[in-house]
Amino acid sequence: MKRNSTLLMMGLALLVAAPASRLLAADELPKGDAIVDKYVEVTGGKAAYDKIHTMVTTGTMTFAAMGLKANVTTYHAEPNKTYTEIEIPGIGKMQDGNDGKVAWSLSAMQGPHVKDGDEKDQAMREADFNGDVNWRKNYKEARTEGKEDVDGKECYKVVMTPNTGKPSTRYYDTKTNLLVKVAMTAKTPMGEIAVESMIDDYRKEGDILMPHKTTLKQGGQQFTVSIDTVKLNAEIPAGKFDPPEEIQAVLKK
């Protein structure tokens, strides 16, 4: 306790002695809402995003430590519908969906699962089409907390506080304003898990600049999702977002 008190006093002394410019540094940082809005601007602008109503992507998910590679297909439609299918050789199919009302997951390993509470709220935020454009609908605050180095890039650290659930932290490159990292606590059937996503390989799709590679670290595991094809305003088969029979059975219980 004595040592901690001494360190505290030393810190206060240094703060008092610091030049005024150092004290004002935090105030001189751009506001969080301005940084998030600028991301939309540098990746194409609101008008370009508003022209897109559906998106279908295909790619691969690589589990390097296990030597596994899975095919991934994702369907996304406004206002908040998603369906993702992952085919893992030797393991089977994993599905995750949201029809705007029911958020669910289904796999051979864990069976059917209907999301509720914070987990459902999180899924609804992630399903929001053009969620970056309309972020104020789901978040009550975007606060810049300083600068931090991420893989050699100086980034603005922006804490996003949702209307419900725990905050997430986004890191935007100070030079390009592109999003390079997201850190959050995800609610899952197995409890809360810290998730870190590294975002990379921005490329143009139509009028939008979008990332094609995401490396995720969660629960002691790491895997990479790479997008190979993107179809904007693609026609999506009828019923694609409907919960499957296994989920319907859970809902009827």
Q: Name the DSSP class of 226.
A: E
Q: What is the pLDDT of residues 148-182, one digit of tens each?
A: 999 999 999 999 999 999 999 999 999 999 999 99
pLDDT of residue 2: 44
With a pLDDT cut of 90, the percent of the chain lying above it is 77
pLDDT of residue 18: 37
What residues does each domain of the chain span?
A: 31-236+244-252
Q: What is the pLDDT of residues 10-39, one digit of tens each?
A: 333 333 333 333 333 555 899 999 999 999
Residue with tokens 């893989």: 151
Q: What is the pLDDT of residues 203-221, one digit of tens each?
A: 999 999 999 999 999 878 8
In this structure, which topology does domain 31-236+244-252 adopt according to CATH? outer membrane lipoprotein receptor (LolB), chain A (2.50.20)
pLDDT of residue 4: 45
Q: Which comes out higher in pLDDT, residue 24 or 242?
A: 242
pLDDT of residue 20: 37
Mean per-residue pLDDT over the chain, rounded:
89
What is the sign of the dihedral through the CA atoms of 141, 52, 82 and 227? Answer: negative
Task: Report the C-alpha gap between 39 and 27 in whole angstroms.
Answer: 21
With a pLDDT cut of 70, the percent of the chain lying above it is 89
Q: What is the pLDDT of residues 77-113, one digit of tens each?
A: 999 999 999 998 888 899 999 999 999 999 988 899 9
Closest CA to 104 of 83, 77, 118: 83
pLDDT of residue 16: 35
